[in-house]
Amino acid sequence: MTPSINSVSPTSVSGPTTLTLTGQNLQASSSATVLNTHVNINNHTCNVTSITNSTIICQLDSIEAGTYTIVASIDGKFYIIYVIENRSIRQL
């Protein structure tokens, strides 16, 4: 089963924010934990605090306005790329 991300919320941020990445098969590897799951948003680290089969929750510091590519690495085996298009994560 290949993991995938279907959505990210919120799509607008103001200062440090908790992001929720929603998808499928995010714990496809039984060894997937917060310690070996990594999320980067245009080279900004989003610190993972929780992972389930359908969500990854992470803490993001302030980030400049723009459109972003989100890359998630799960257990060093799966890499998921999600691009937010036409909906920018933007600083308010």
Q: Looking at the DSSP assignment, which residues form a beta bridge with residue 7?
A: 22
Q: Chunk the chain into consecutive blocks of 10 residues (it has 92) and report each block's average pLDDT, rounded to whole numbers.
A: 88 82 88 91 92 95 80 86 58 36
In the DSSP assignment, the letter for residue 86 is S
Q: What is the pLDDT of residue 92?
A: 33
The residues, any chain, with a CB within 8 Å of residue 83's CB and separated by 6 or more, are 67, 68, 69, 70
Report d(CA 63, CA 4) in Å as an integer.
Answer: 24
Q: What is the pLDDT of residue 13?
A: 73
What the chain holds in terms of domains, given with CATH numbers, is: 4-83 (2.60.40.10)
Report d(CA 33, CA 73) in Å as an integer.
Answer: 11
In the DSSP assignment, the letter for residue 89 is B
Q: What is the pLDDT of residue 90?
A: 45
Report d(CA 52, CA 49) in Å as an integer.
Answer: 11
The residues, any chain, with a CB within 8 Å of residue 9's CB and separated by 6 or more, are 19, 20, 22
